[in-house]
């Protein structure tokens, strides 16, 4: 059951706690909680703690429209696979040359983040695992769709999307891509993700790195205990 459409979350932590309750049935499967940087990492951190399971990042990037980088015409995953929303791309004049240039630019950012984040937290193999993809919301669905593709390409046995809020058409699209989609709020009028949070502060890279270091330390401790 989704929450009333006029509901707003206090912050990402409150939203994460409510998602954890909905994901509790997955706890025996020991899923991998994959946060989309940066806001999704805050939510993934809480869920991974609540479910006592592994956290990782999924490195996908939105392909921005010409002159309007916040408008997604598509997305690209860590494996280089691209999803393009053709109707939007056509409407904003994003031709193939532009799309290729934008892909190259965003792949460079993915590589920079991969080097930075993986130096702190090693990648969790997804083969045969349940992958729970988490973000602080879904607007167009382009980035999340690319993330679903990426996890399937890595051999995940099951892919679940879990978000606090989403645009109804984007959530409908994702239901055709993932094995399950959990979305707490489905507002009829969706302008921006931040409108559904009382506190929606920007998340900086240092906060993400701190979370990854905490999980890396916990992972090393667990490995040492298993070897003992």
List, for residues 13-42, the tens digit of each pLDDT value: 999 999 999 999 999 999 999 999 999 999
Q: Is residue 147, in this structure, part of any structural domain at all?
A: yes
For residue 184, CA distances in Å to 18, 97, 140, 145 come to 8, 38, 17, 18
pLDDT of 150 over the 90 cut: no
pLDDT in tens, 185-224: 999 889 899 999 999 999 999 999 999 999 999 887 777 6
Burial annotation 189-221 (CB, 10 A radius, 16+ → b, else e): ebeebeebbeebeebeeebbbebbeebeeeeee
Question: Higher confidence at residue 1 or residue 4?
Answer: 4
| Rounded Cα–Cα distance for residues 213 and 225 (Å) | 18
Distance of CA 26 to the CA centre of its chain: 18
115, part of any domain: no
What share of the chain in percent tops pLDDT 70?
A: 95
Q: In this model, does residue 5 exceed pLDDT 90?
A: no
Both tokens assigned to 146? 């690319």
Q: How many domains does the chain have?
A: 1
Query: Residue 1 pLDDT > 50, yes or no?
Result: no
Q: Is residue 160 part of a domain?
A: yes
Nearest to 132 by CA among 71, 55, 63: 55
- Tens of pLDDT, residue by residue over 71-114, are 888 888 888 888 888 999 999 999 999 999 999 999 999 999 89
**Omega within 30 of 0 (cis) for the link into 38:** yes
Establish if 42 belongs to a structural domain: yes
pLDDT of residue 78: 80
Domain extent, residue 171, equals 12-61+126-227
Element (H, E) at 161: strand 158-165
Q: Is residue 81 part of a domain?
A: no
Q: Is residue 77 one of the residues assigned to a domain?
A: no
Percentage above 90 pLDDT, the chain: 70
pLDDT for position 153: 81
Identify the CATH number of the domain in which residue 199 sits.
Answer: 3.40.50.2020
Residue 103 belongs to some domain of the structure: no
Q: Report the predicted TM-score, pTM, of the whole model to 2 decimal places.
A: 0.85
Instruction: Decide if 194 is inside a domain.
Output: yes
């Amino acid at each position: 059951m989704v929450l009333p459409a006029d509901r707003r979350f206090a912050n990402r932590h409150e939203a994460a706690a409510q998602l954890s309750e909905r994901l509790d049935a997955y706890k025996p499967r020991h899923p991998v909680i994959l946060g989309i940087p940066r806001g999704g990492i805050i939510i993934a951190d809480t869920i991974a703690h609540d479910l006592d399971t592994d956290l990782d990042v999924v490195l996908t990037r939105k392909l921005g429209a010409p002159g309007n980088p916040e408008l997604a015409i598509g997305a690209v995953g860590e494996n280089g696979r691209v999803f393009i929303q053709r109707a939007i791309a056509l409407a904003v004049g994003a031709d193939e040359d532009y799309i290729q240039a934008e892909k190259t630019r965003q792949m460079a950012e993915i590589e920079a983040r991969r080097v930075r984040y993986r130096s702190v937290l090693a990648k969790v193999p997804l083969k045969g695992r349940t992958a729970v993809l988490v973000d602080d919301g879904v607007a167009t669905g382009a980035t999340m769709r690319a993330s679903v593709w990426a996890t399937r390409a890595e051999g995940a046995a099951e892919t679940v999307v879990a978000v606090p809020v989403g645009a109804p058409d984007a959530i409908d699209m994702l239901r055709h891509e993932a094995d399950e989609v959990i979305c707490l709020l489905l507002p009829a009028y969706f302008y921006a993700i931040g409108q559904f949070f009382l506190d929606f502060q920007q998340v900086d890279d240092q906060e993400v790195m701190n979370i990854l270091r905490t999980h890396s330390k916990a992972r090393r401790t667990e490995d040492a205990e298993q070897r003992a």
